[in-house]
Structure formats: C-alpha cells, structure tokens
Amino acid sequence: MLQIEDLHVNYGGIRALKGVSLRVGAKEIVSLLGSNGAGKSTTVRAISGLVTTKSGSILFDGKPINGLAPHEIQRLGLVHIPEGRKVFANLTIRENLLMGAYYTREKTQLKKLFGQVYDMFPSLVSKTQQLAGTLSGGEQQMLAIGRAIMSQPRLLMMDEPSLGLAPMIVADVFRIIEKIRNEGVTIFLIEQNANLALKIADYAFLIENGTISLKGRGSEVLKDPRVKQAYLGSVSG
C-alpha cells in the first residue's frame, strides 16, 4: 500500500534520512521505532509532503506521491496525526472534527462520521462545544485521532501518539489503534514506546541515524537483543 525506496532528506547540510526503504501493507499495523533524532518524524513528514525529499521514491497504491502538496496527499486517503496532537486550541471539539471533514459536504456522510468518532470516544460527546485547548492531554489525543477519522483515512500515520500521556491513557490509545486497524484502516505507527508498539505491530522497522538498521515481524523485533538493550531496558540472557 505504501512503499518507500532509498529516501534521502537533507536539512541544510544535515543528512536527516540516508536511503530509507520500507513498506506498509494494507490493513497492517507497521511500527517505525527509534530514539529522538533518529529520523522517525522526518520520515512521516516526507511521506505527508511536509518536507522536501532530495531523492528516492514514495509510492501510495503504486503511484508516486513525491512532490504532491500535503492536502493532495490527504485527499488520497493518507492521513497524518502529527506529534504533539496539534489540535486547534481556540476551536471547539465539534469545529476541530469538522476541520477533519473539510472535503465532506454530504450531510448524511458527516452525520455518519460524527457517529463513528463519538462511538469511539464517548467522553467527547458531552464536551462537544468545549474549546480544544481546555482539554487534557489524553482528550486532545482522542480528538486528534477523531479528527483524522473524519478525513476517512485508508492509511493513518500516527506520530508519537503516546507522547506525554499517563500510562493508563497510553493503554487506551493503543487499544484504539488496534480497533481502527480491525475496522480496515492501515496504521503506520511512529513510536518511542517500543514495548507497546511492537506488541501490536504486524511488522516493524528500527531507524538509527537516518537509516533502517533492523526490520522484521513485530514479535521478532521485540525479542531482538539490540532492541531489548536500547529500547526495553534489558538485555537478552
């Protein structure tokens, strides 16, 4: 569904991505793991058209999307939830959700999308007219996911959805990620929480210093001694 080949991205004189290649199959959860500065967010921002690639190819459903504007990529069904949630703080929950459904004008479809989001996040229903900036971090993450669902994604890219959240909320977020996949949406998950990400991932890639250093099924990568030592706080015995 999504295929990246030999992707290079530079920030000035800094080589942020150095030949990244990976694939995300339809209806899979694929995790991209790595430490801060490894190139995770640069990868997803390049896919979304938010940063310019130097070379390499990005294919979605077999068609190149390099050079397309972010809104054009979103209209193809490739939707990005950015790191830090980036909700519109001065808009209400309902207005934020409507921003996700910007290209949907059919009232029946809008009603259906609102129903899907509120079924998934019932705690938002009673707060629909509340300003997003007044929500807790966990509620803002729910809203960010809900706004993405309103865009009717076929592939949903989630950049650090657990960042800054309490462990109980993180567990809820990961259950929601699995639920979204079970409803037919492909998930590309960018995460530092390797333990949780690998437990739900069909396939995983480890990025270090702008290159893919390890790949495999989630369960296999979870057992890899290098991952245990660097990201799970233990070593293989």
pTM above 0.95, yes or no: no
How high is the pLDDT of residue 84? 81
- HEC-encoded secondary structure of 34-86: CCCCCCHHHHHHHHCCCCCCCEEEEEECCEECCCCCHHHHHHCCEEEECCCCC
How high is the pLDDT of residue 103? 83
- Which domains does the chain show, CATH number per domain? 2-86+154-231 (3.40.50.300)
Mean pLDDT for each 10-residue chunk of the chain (237 residues)? 96 92 97 90 95 96 94 95 90 95 87 94 93 93 95 95 89 94 96 90 95 94 84 50
How high is the pLDDT of residue 237? 32
How high is the pLDDT of residue 234? 45
